[in-house]
Amino acid sequence: MEVSNILKITHAFPFFRCPNGDYWALVDVAGRFSALRVGSNEFEDLVHDLYYASFQDAPSPAAFRCALGVIRAKTRASAKVCDVALRIGRDDGALYYDTRDERGRIIKVTSGGWGVIANPPCAFWQPPGMLGVDSPHTENGHDPDLVDAAFGVMFPGLSEKQRMLLVMWCVHSLIVGAPCPLLHLIGPPRSGIALLARIIKRAIDPCAGESLLKPKEAKDLILATRSMRIVLLGDFSSLPQALADAVYGILTGASIRPRKLYTDDDVTITSVQRAVILTSHDDIVRARGLREFRIRIDAIENLLAGPEMEVWRDFENYRRTILGGLFSAVSYGIGHLDSIRDSGLCYVNEFGLWTAAAAPAFGWDSEQWLRVYRENMGEQMVDALDASVIGRPLVEMVRARGRLSVTASQLLEMLRTLVRDRSLLPADHKALGTQLNKIASALRNAGIVFRRDNTKARDHKPFLVFDVDGAQEESHPTRPNAKPPSVDDCGNLVYDDSEE
């Protein structure tokens, strides 16, 4: 009887599955349908409330579990599969932003502009702790130029280029499906970087508990980011390799497959792709991939215009202006995306592509913006060379010679004559190879091309070849009568350089 009653009160709910296997229901929340995960605490509370309203009683746990089994079976039979969006969704080229306000308004952004709609084509999940946004009502009066001006008023310590980087990162954080680089804010205590990070987070994706503490494991970090669109990692003192890999995975789209409880083979799939803000007092990013995929902003001095309370008051005044201006810029970017693709501009990555399309909405030329972005990336490459004990000595050595072709052991001996503290050098040729892989991109940015040449290997030890960019020479010119290479016992190609 209890099972039948539960099925009756949930009969009107549209049920569907996600690609990862989760079951969801669309329920009426504040006059608008919102997605709830079947079996979650929120879904269980809703069913208990409806059950009590109808029968003045609560169902037994056994009856509730049995009803969930029936619901899942019916959902599988219906074969309905749909994605669930968090704060921002995408459908047929348009973006949808969930304001989570009392009226349940959704903002639709297309190439023709943006406005408020009632019934979006995508389902939205509103997890516990997600807060509403006091969003603008119409597109009129929300010029993208005002976004840059608002940051300039609240944080006068930011340079023009830094504001440009911040604003374009905020624009791209509203794009679904395109990886957003890490926004790394570095500054001493009381410099205002923590407040800046919180204001960006609150302007786009407000939630209770804005900043995450440093987790013990990478899995904990990925699970914690499921319920927020913009992840704020506040005041980290270090970033171990495992956490750096997790952050990079969150930026580019990561998934974990932990084993379900009380099972041997069943797994739970958790996939996330989020925008991440990291604040720290020093440059703690050492992982090569994450260092190359970030926007770094250094606060040399206090960024604030006054006390924090005044900055928060200014933010409340600018809140709608900032969000409305970002929507207008995203709309402009959607309309001009194809023209940037066909323009031949070197936009570096998806972030560069989208932001180059949106930059003219702020009065910035696309080439001007991409130049600022590449400069920011180049500064980080220089920092990577300085952070490596072999970086600067190696660059100076190659530039002085024009070309360097040595084995790893020979290079290690040469570096020992240039570095004072030899204890900081790699212990052997294998460790040296690892160090070279980490700074390969930074070397390219400094004009040094690095490659391994197996064709002149001695005792199966490849030569390390360093060239000044633009001065490389053909290592093996084509000869009409050249013999084809053979394969040695280690799987390397061996060329016969003897004349016939």
In a domain, 190, yes or no: yes
Is the domain of 248 the same as that of 350? yes
Structural domain of residue 193, as residue ranges?
145-382
In a domain, 125, yes or no: no
Is the domain of 207 the same as that of 285? yes
Is the domain of 263 the same as that of 339? yes
What six digits make up the tokens of 203?
Answer: 């302007």
- pLDDT digit of tens for each residue in the chain (500 aa)? 899 999 999 988 889 988 878 899 988 866 667 889 998 999 999 999 999 999 999 999 999 999 999 999 999 998 788 888 999 999 888 999 999 877 778 899 999 999 988 788 888 998 888 998 887 766 665 788 889 999 999 999 999 999 999 999 999 999 988 899 999 999 988 889 999 999 999 999 999 988 888 888 888 888 888 889 999 998 888 898 889 988 999 998 877 766 666 566 666 667 788 999 999 998 888 887 888 899 999 987 788 878 899 999 999 999 999 999 999 999 999 999 998 888 877 777 889 999 999 999 999 999 999 999 988 887 766 666 777 788 888 888 888 888 888 888 888 888 888 887 878 888 887 888 888 877 777 787 777 888 887 765 555 566 777 777 654 433 333 334 444 444 344 434 344 544 44
In a domain, 89, yes or no: no
CATH code at 318? 3.40.50
Is the domain of 344 the same as that of 455? no
What is the rounded CA–CA span in Å between residue 443 and residue 310?
Answer: 45
Is the domain of 422 the same as that of 371? no
Last residue of a domain, one of 352, 382, 412: 382
Question: What per-residue confidence (pLDDT) applies to 89?
Answer: 92
343 contact partners, CB below 8 Å, separation of at least 6: 366
Is the domain of 32 the same as that of 169? no
What is the rounded CA–CA span in Å between residue 309 and residue 315?
Answer: 10
Is the domain of 281 the same as that of 349? yes
Is the domain of 302 the same as that of 445? no
Question: What per-residue confidence (pLDDT) applies to 470?
Answer: 52
Is the domain of 398 the same as that of 354? no
In a domain, 103, yes or no: no
How many independent structural domains does the chain possess? 3
In a domain, 97, yes or no: no
Is the domain of 358 the same as that of 414? no
Q: Check if the beta carbon of residue 224 is closer than 8 Å to that of residue 230.
A: no
Is the domain of 194 the same as that of 78? no
Last residue of a domain, one of 360, 382, 404: 382
Is the domain of 373 the same as that of 316? yes
In a domain, 92, yes or no: no
Question: What per-residue confidence (pLDDT) applies to 400?
Answer: 83
In a domain, 309, yes or no: yes
